[in-house]
Amino acid sequence: MLWFTRLFSDPGAAQAVVALCLVTALGLALGSVRVRGIRLGVGGVLFSGLALAHCGMRVEPEILEFVREFGLIFFVYAVGMQVGPGFAASLRRRGLSLNLFAVLVVLSGLLISFGLSRALGLPAPAAVGMFCGAVTNTPSLAASSQVFAEAMPPEAAAAAVAEAGMAYAAAYPFGFLGLILTLLLLRLLFRIQPGRELETLRGIEALWNPPLRRRTFVVRNADVFGMSLRDFFGLHPDGAALSWIKAAGEERARAPAPETALAEGMLLSAVGDGPQMEKMSVLIGPPDEAKAGALPGRPEERRLLLSKSEAAGKTVQRLWLTPEFGVAITRLVRAGVELAATPATRLHYGDSLFCVGGAKDLERAAAFLGNSAKALEHPRVLPVFLGIFLGVILGSIPVYIPGFPAALKLGLAGGPLLAAILLSRLNNFAGMVWYLPTSANLILREAGIALFLACVGLNSGRDFAATLTQGAGLVWMAAGAAVTFAPLFSVALLARIVFKYDYATICGLLTGSMTDPPALAFSVQSLDSDAPTGVYAAVYPLTMMLRILFSQILVFVLLLWS
């Protein structure tokens, strides 16, 4: 059994792999244990790392540093790829007001952290670690650790990173539990009934995202007689999408073609929201569903997947399937949101397209678009590593601010996150498709954050127990509780009393402003609805960026102040 014991004790790659896998496995098992419906989730890995390090498990510092940073990069890149496609749409709806609340949470936490650090005489590493742990944000801890490494001598930087990790671990438990407590207190204080709140939210969602409708119009407006469909939609780009047309005297309906000229009595079947339907009625003519219902041989509608990279990145007009296939794209579903397919709509790899045409025409269009769920499930590895490469370069660009001891950077957390958001938003860029299947995204995200937390726990666990019981650990915990609870509860009251936000929106806002996936899971479970998830995704990217930047600013300010 000597070989077995040496596997745990002899420094090297094998020992590091065994230690990290053991810490991660035990931590995830611990995080899956539910106590009154609450579980730590991936946060359990941090505590298993602290416990095993306290019991004597060691990994070479160079290996820990590399695995920690690489795990963080995988996590933030996967998050960016997940929220990027719907990020702009979320901001356009009501993302501005939600993100202002999230900024208020982040900024007030920063100010409280600075004030407590001065009042209690906390050293800079402890104050920064306490701030990051109180908001359960591990990337901000990594970003601040980078600043310590650049602004301090190597030995002092190593000690500062270790102290920040211990303060982070001390403040982390209430950072998680404090958010849950805030949500529960809010529910009790306002006697919230989740079912009624969800009904209210559905009504609001219907106003933001009006359901698509199908109408059949008769061309009666003489002003559009002779105008081609291309010219008509060029003048009115926000018009509805057409499904089929039928000219007067024709026996059967057909897919619309760009050069088709509008003529009196022509029937047009269109898809769009309420305002678009009203606009079409004014511009073209009145709807007449009776004629559409009596029409023989209407084209059928089928849902096709865009799984060929050659078709991605093009607009509906440029891809126009009608001339070659006799098929029209009427609407699409992207990231769970249904959109009208207007000529200017740019298509993304992985979109679900609703196409109208004859059965044989639809078969040929399906072959052109790919329509392969299996192809969408296959991860494209080259864009992943190229995106991470670009993200690291972006995060390394220095921004010099007069008076600061080192340049401000997005770092290994912010750079890949921003790169992933931009690339996934573009979807088709530099001849490649920037798309990550859901299963691959989950693996990268969960494995990355688990490895990061395992390394943080192993690096900080040796002195954690002594610090907590004999040193300043209790002070860190109390200060962290104030940093967690005060901003969350204040913003929750403001959002509920003054701005009349519903409970599901507040749940998504608070969990997103804390970038806390376990708390999001708790709110989804307690509401029995995914309603908070959309709000979480709307505020998460900006909040993550701010927490990374603010943690670095806090390091600079505290080092200058000391």
291-341 pLDDT, tens per residue?
Answer: 655 555 556 778 888 888 877 878 877 776 666 666 778 778 876 666 777
Phi, psi of 104 (to 5 degrees): -60, -40
> Whole-angstrom Cα distance, residue 556 to residue 136?
21
Nearest to 19 by CA among 61, 62, 53: 53
Q: 370 CB contacts (<8 Å, ≥6 apart)?
A: 305, 306, 307, 308, 311
Q: Is residue 543 in some structural domain?
A: yes
Q: Is residue 67 in some structural domain?
A: yes
Q: Do 74 and 33 fall within a single domain?
A: yes
Residue 442 CB neighbour total at 10 angstroms: 13
Q: Do 468 and 543 fall within a single domain?
A: yes
Residue 399 CB neighbour total at 10 angstroms: 10
> Whole-angstrom Cα distance, residue 297 to residue 539?
48
Q: Is residue 299 in some structural domain?
A: no
Q: Do 453 and 471 fall within a single domain?
A: yes
Find the domain containing 330 and state its range: 221-285+308-371
> Whole-angstrom Cα distance, residue 483 to residue 424?
34
Q: Which residue has the tokens 């920040």?
A: 164
Number of residues written out for the chain: 562
pLDDT of residue 373: 83
pLDDT of residue 110: 92
Q: Is residue 293 in some structural domain?
A: no
Q: Do 87 and 28 fall within a single domain?
A: yes
Q: Do 316 and 432 fall within a single domain?
A: no
Indicate the Cα dihedral angle 266, 272, 277, 279, nearest 10°: -90
Residues of the chain with pLDDT under 50: none
Q: Do 407 and 331 fall within a single domain?
A: no
Q: How far apart are the first and last CA of the chain?
A: 52
> Whole-angstrom Cα distance, residue 554 to residue 117?
10
DSSP-based three-state secondary structure for 218: strand
Phi, psi of 485 (to 5 degrees): -80, -45
Choose the final residue of a domain: 349, 371, 393. Answer: 371
Tens-place pLDDT, residues 210-260: 666 778 888 888 888 888 877 777 655 555 677 778 887 777 777 777 778
pLDDT of residue 450: 84
125 and 132 in contact (C-beta within 8 Å)? no
Q: Do 477 and 550 fall within a single domain?
A: yes
pLDDT of residue 483: 93
Indicate the Cα dihedral angle 316, 320, 325, 329, nearest 10°: 30
Q: Do 365 and 381 fall within a single domain?
A: no
- What single letter denotes the amino acid at residue 398? P
Residue 537 CB neighbour total at 10 angstroms: 21
Q: Is residue 504 in some structural domain?
A: yes
Q: Do 468 and 493 fall within a single domain?
A: yes
> Whole-angstrom Cα distance, residue 335 to residue 216?
28
Tens-place pLDDT, residues 399-447: 776 655 556 677 777 788 788 888 888 877 777 888 888 788 888 888 8
Print burial letters for 271-286: b (CB count within 10 Å at least 16), e (below 16): bbbeebbeebbebbbe
> Whole-angstrom Cα distance, residue 288 to residue 274?
16
Q: Is residue 297 in some structural domain?
A: no
Domain count along the chain: 2
Q: Say which CATH number the domain at 254 has.
A: 3.30.70.1450
Q: Do 359 and 382 fall within a single domain?
A: no
Q: 489 CB contacts (<8 Å, ≥6 apart)?
A: 182, 185, 186
pLDDT of residue 488: 93
> Whole-angstrom Cα distance, residue 128 to residue 135?
11
Choose the final residue of a domain: 371, 403, 418. Answer: 371
Q: Do 172 and 246 fall within a single domain?
A: no
Q: Exposed/middle/buried for 376, CB within 10 Å: 0-12, 13-18, 19+?
A: middle
Q: Is residue 103 in some structural domain?
A: yes
Q: Is residue 253 in some structural domain?
A: yes
Q: What angle do CA 37, 41, 44 make, to 5 degrees?
A: 115
> Whole-angstrom Cα distance, residue 184 to residue 186?
5
Query: Given CA atoms 49, 53, 58, 61 in this order, what sign does their dihedral have?
Result: positive
Query: Given CA atoms 190, 195, 198, 202 in this order, what sign does their dihedral have?
Result: negative
Q: Do 117 and 10 fall within a single domain?
A: yes
- What single letter denotes the amino acid at residue 542? L
Choose the final residue of a domain: 319, 337, 371. Answer: 371
